[in-house]
Amino acid sequence: MQSSTRLYTFTLSHFCEKARWALDRAGVEYREVVLLPGFHRRRLRQLGAHKRVPVLVHTGQVFEGSSAILDFADAHGGAPPLLPNDPELRAQALEWEVYLDRELGETVRRVLYFHALKQPDVVIRCWSSGSPFWAAPLYRLIWPRAAAAVRRLLDIDASTAQRDAGRLDVALERVEARLSEHDYLVGESFGRADLTLAALCAPLLRPPEHPWRLPETLEQLPEVAALARRVRDSATGQRVAAAYARRRDDPAFGRYLRTIVAV
């Protein structure tokens, strides 16, 4: 496949998985360009992008963030759109997406980093997944500065980690309550909110259908292992596992191969 469309990602980012899944589902051909965390900023500036990955570049246009890429997938793909046509349901789906991005996606990221940054080898393995051989030694060389930069960028400390753990509990309880009465978060079919929920849970659940093999080293951390078990054993975790098993490689939309380029 020689697609001119490029998706710039980190391999294990759950927001990148959200964008990747939407493009795959829609049958959009693209080339995935894997960036190294911390060294990605120069490339994004060259593209004219200013936010964090994922970033999609298509015919000279730049789409920043997973939400914009989901819009692109609906507009350019061959699958039924993730957003319903009904205005009320559409608004509900977008509201759920914003909520899950903030209260699940961002909190999971901060909680995982809070615990993982205490174990440099765990983080370095995650950051280096799918990257050139020299990536891990380079990260070890600059580790103190890299860890401090992540804590500063994401505002990570013991107090924020405790706050985020509580916010994560509230978010999961809200999802559980909704799914106890409905098959999907919004409407009568798998949609934008459901895909967002599944992708953002991936770092904890490590579904085998994920395009990248998520490292088991994260669960060597007791706090992360306990959180992963709690989510995996919940009704939400079971829904997410089923969504990955049934929908991540849905044959109705084909299997689109990507050329992986580590940068």
Predicted structure pTM score: 0.93
Rounded to an integer, what is the distance from CA 154 to the centroid of its chain? 16
b/e burial code for range 111-120 (CB count within 10 A of at least 16 → b): bbbbbbbeee
89: tokens are 């349901």
| 16: pLDDT strictly greater than 70 | yes
Q: Which amino acid is at 173?
A: E
CB-based contacts of 232, cutoff 8 Å, min separation 6: 204, 205, 241
Q: Are strands 260-262 and 31-34 parallel, antiparallel or unpaired?
A: parallel
Q: Does residue 19 surpass a pLDDT of 50?
A: yes
What pLDDT is stored for residue 256 in this prediction?
56
CA distance 116 to 111: 9
Residue 99 CA to residue 172 CA, distance in Å, equals 11
| pLDDT classification of 257: cutoffs 50, 70, 90 | low
| pLDDT tens-place string over residues 84-103 | 999 999 999 999 999 999 99
- The mean pLDDT of the chain is 90
Domains and CATH numbers, the chain: 6-82+252-262 (3.40.30.10), 87-247 (1.20.1050)
Contact between residue 199 and residue 18 where contact means Cβ atoms under 8 Å apart: yes
